[in-house]
Every structure is written in structure tokens, then in C-alpha cells.
Amino acid sequence: MVIDAAYLGLLLLLQLGTPVYDRVILGGHVMDPASGLDAVRNLGLSGGRIAVITTEAVLGRDTVDARGLVVAPGFIDLHAHGQTPETYRFQSLDGVTTSLELELGTSDVAAWYRERSAGERINYGVSIGHIKVRMAVMHDSGTVMPVGDGAYRAATPEQIDQIAKRIETGLREGAVSIGAGFPYTPAAARDELLAVFRVAGMTKTPVHVHIRPGVAGLKEALALANETNAPLHVVHINSSALADTPVMLEMISDARAHGHDVTTEAYPYAAGMTEIQSATIQDIYRSAPDARLAELEWPPTGERLNRESFERYARIGGPVVVYTNSEQMVAVAITSPLTIIASDAYWQNGTGHPRTTGTFSKVLGRYVRESHALSLMEALRKMTVMPAQRLEARVPAMRQKGRLRVGADADITIFDPATVVDRSTYREPSLSPVGIQHVIVNGVSVVANGRAVDDIAPGKAVRAPT
Ligand SMILES: [Zn+2]
């Protein structure tokens, strides 16, 4: 029998009573925005949690060599559509350990969690979504978003009552937040939106809202929140604000200075994506001048649309790329200290937006390393502790995420700051980034040495107490 030196060392330490952790992460540059820790440390993980962070030598049954790499809390994405094994895999390769669908959400929270109860690759959670609830109450035939009465028919007082009741039910079933998207439900009048916000205010639940475009859209959402005392989270300020990004960030900053609970998020791309049949596209482009249709691109072919192709693809349905923002405004949104990084991941039937696979690595590669527009610690803060804090009041379990500290969940992303960068493009949106080396969810590697580990499901439900 051959006994190697490491094994002898292990035996010796066991005799001395030194703990042996499930896994150790050795020699990495540990960066924790919550505590400010920014130094080389060893980590020991046990039972899915961080057991020790130390300069001392530590022993584990399994070792991750993190020398030369940054060890950060796993990234938390507040806005990710898809929520399928395929999108969880894409997101894990981008460093995401918790993926939450808080804008569209679902109309049936209990069923949504039940479908995932065997575990997923990364942690997951959902909101009770006004859009989805309205589709159910108004019997809309759309699959992803409303295309009929869910978008275009005013609700009766009885239907508004039903909508509010279903939202309350979703909250009782543990929804993380309330989702809403006013441009997708243009017939939802102020009474109806107020009923939704009243539930939010009464239960202190944040409403994650896709606002109507521009300053007027933000004023409307702020007024609803003020009137009802509802916490407000404005999704993708970049694509809702466009050229008004600086002034709308200022409005959010002012609201916060006056004590209002308002937060926002952004994704680092100048083009958006949504369903061509949705009200938000149809209302703008159905009667737009022909030249404006060239803002739209059809993903399967990469062609910019004209009147004829717009009508043709609108009959078929599917996602369309929308080029309406400038890189300059995206940079304003991404670098503002107010914004959380959230992908708005979007993927369906084998195609989607590159933000699904590249949001977090793009911020680290392009905005931090290449243009020095953000410090690495500040970028990590926007991906970890900021999104965790947004949800903590309603979901206390989020206090154990987004941080590297003893007792926290062992959700950890380890990357090479010298090479990390996205590769996906609008034409090839499924390319995984480079430089994200190890991604650990509840102590288990879902990405090892830059490759996805398959057939594992350590991800758990993120859910409000029921
Ligand atoms: Zn979205």
C-alpha cells in the first residue's frame, strides 16, 4: 500500500483535531463587497455553507486551487426570463448562482416552485406577476405575453378584485416579489394598477415594474408607490430611459433621498429584445413611419425589418431585437452607483439575446478591465450584495447570499480578472464567456475549470416564508 505525503499530513492533522472541510478554496484573492474584504484568503466549506475564511492553511476532502483568481460571492440576477435547465446552464457559465424571474413572474406560484422541487442547477425564484395574473383573469391566449384581452381590454371592478386576490394568494405561497409591466398591459387603468400597488404597500413587498417609457413612465410608477407606500424596483432603467437615463437616475436618487424605498437595475447592451406580437412592440411600430422599422432585427436571419417583413413576422411571432439605445447611455446606466446588474435574460426555442449568456462577464471585462469605468469591487457590489439587500425584508434567506462570510450560503464565483469577458453576440447569442473558472452553488461545483458540470442540481428555491 502506497501512502503519499498528503495523506500522512491529513492523518496527522486529524489526530491534532484540525477540522477537515467538505471543500477548500485555496489562495484566491477574496473580494467581498459587503465587508470590504479584499485580500488573499483560504476558504473552507461545509454542509453548503462557508465555514471559515482564513490566512491559515485549511484541509478539505476536495480542493479548488484559486491562486491568481478572484473569489467573489455568486452573482444574483433579479431579472431572468426562461428559467429552464437550458437558461440555468447558460447563466451558471456567466457566474450566476441565483436566477430570479421577478418582472413577468408567474400566475401560479405554488405550481412554479413545485415544477422545480427536485432542484435545479442554480438557485431560483419567482414573483407573482400582474401581467401573468391579468392574462389568466382576462383569458388571454398569448403564450409568453398578452396578445388579446390581457393587453387591450379594460378590467371590470370584479376582475380587478380577482387580480388583487390572486396576487395576495401568490404572496401567501411565497412569491419573492410582485412583477408588473405596464407597456404589456396598456388597458390596465390606474384603478387596477393602484389595486396591485395597495397589496404591495400593505405587505411591504417590492413591485418590480417595467415602466412605460421615459420620464412620464417613471413619474407614474413613483406616484403609485408614493400613494400606497409600496417598495418600488424599476427594471432595466437603460431600456426604459434611453436618452433620459441621466435625468431618470436623478429622479430615483431624489426619491431615495426623500426616504422612498426605490431601487433600479440595468443590463449592459444597447439593444433590447421582446416578443414581436406584444403590445409594447405593436403599439409603437404598427403605425410607425417605415424608416423606424429598421430599429428591429429578426434574430433567425439578422435582417433589419421593413413594412412587409414586419407584418409577415408579426403573423408568425417570436422574439425581435430592438435597437433603440446608445452605448453612451448604457454606460451611464451601468456605472451609476444606483444600479444593480440584472440580465433580463431572454431565451426561447434555441434563440435569444446575448445578455442571457454574457451580462455579468461583459460588465467585468468591458466596463471594469477594458474601460476602467467601474472598479472591480464596485462592479461586484452591483452583482452580489445589492440584489441580496433588495429582497431581504421579504425573503430573510437572502441575508445569507451575496456575501462571503462565515455562515453564509456557499454560493461562490471564481474568475480570472485578467481574461474574463463575454463572447456572445446578437448573431451568436449562445457563446459562453471566458474567464469564469469555477461556480459553486450551495457548496457544489456547477462550473469547474471553465466547463459546465452536468447532471447535478444543488440549486434551491429562493422563496418568502409561507
Ligand atoms: Zn424582462
Q: What is the structure's pLDDT at 4? A: 66
Residue 238 Cα to ligand 1 midpoint, Å, equals 12
Q: CA-to-CA distance for 230 and 226, rounded, in angstroms?
A: 7
Distance (angstroms) between ligand 1 centre and the Cα of 236 equals 8
Element (H, E) at 316: helix 307-316
Q: Which tens digit of pLDDT belongs to each residue from 187-206?
A: 999 999 999 999 999 999 99
Pairing mode of beta strands 351-352, 412-415: unpaired
Going by their DSSP bridges, the two strands 49-54 and 37-46 should be labelled as antiparallel
Chain mean position to CA 306: 33
Between strands 436-441 and 412-415, the pairing is antiparallel
Q: What are 228-248's pLDDT values in tens digits? A: 999 999 999 999 999 999 999
Share of the chain above pLDDT 90, in %: 93
H/E run at residue 234:
strand 232-234
**Mean pLDDT within 280-296:** 92
In terms of Cβ atoms closer than 10 Å to its own Cβ (0-12, 13-18, 19+), residue 28 is: buried
pLDDT score of 457 more than 90: yes
CA of 52 to the centre of ligand 1 (A): 37
Residue 258 has pLDDT above 80, yes or no: yes
Say whether pLDDT at 332 is over 60. Answer: yes
Ligand 1: centre distance to CA 25 (Å) = 35
Q: How far apart are CA 14 and CA 89, in angstroms?
A: 38
For residue 358, the CA-to-ligand 1 centroid distance in Å is 16
Using the mean position of ligand 1's atoms as its centre, give its distance from the Cα of residue 314 in Å. 20
For residue 278, pLDDT beyond 60: yes
pLDDT of residue 99 exceeding 60: yes
**Interval 151-170: pLDDT, tens:** 999 999 999 999 999 999 99
- How far, in Å, from the CA of 344 to the mean position of ligand 1? 5
| 326/220 Cα distance (integer angstroms) | 25
Beta bridge partners of residue 71, listed in sequence order: 30, 414
> What pLDDT, on the 0 to 100 scale, is given for residue 2?
53
90 touches 345 (CB < 8 A): yes
Q: If you measure from the C-alpha of residue 40 to the centroid of ligand 1, how many angstroms do you get, rounded to a whole number?
A: 37
- Quick: pLDDT tens for 47-61: 999 999 999 999 999
Instruction: Give this prediction's pTM.
Output: 0.95
Distance 104 CA to ligand 1 centre (A): 7
Q: What is the pLDDT of residue 385?
A: 98
The SS3 of residue 343 is coil
Whether the per-residue pLDDT at 10 is higher than 70: the answer is no
CA of 171 to the centre of ligand 1 (A): 20
- Give the distance (Å) from ligand 1 centre to CA of residue 357: 15
Ion ligand 1 contact residues with beta carbon within 5 A: 103, 344
Band (pLDDT 50/70/90 cuts) for residue 300 is: confident
**H/E stretch holding 447:** strand 444-448
Helix (H, G, I), strand (E, B) or coil at 232: strand
Q: What is the pLDDT of residues 384-398, one digit of tens each?
A: 999 999 999 999 999
Between the CA of 317 and the centroid of ligand 1 the distance, in Å, is 17
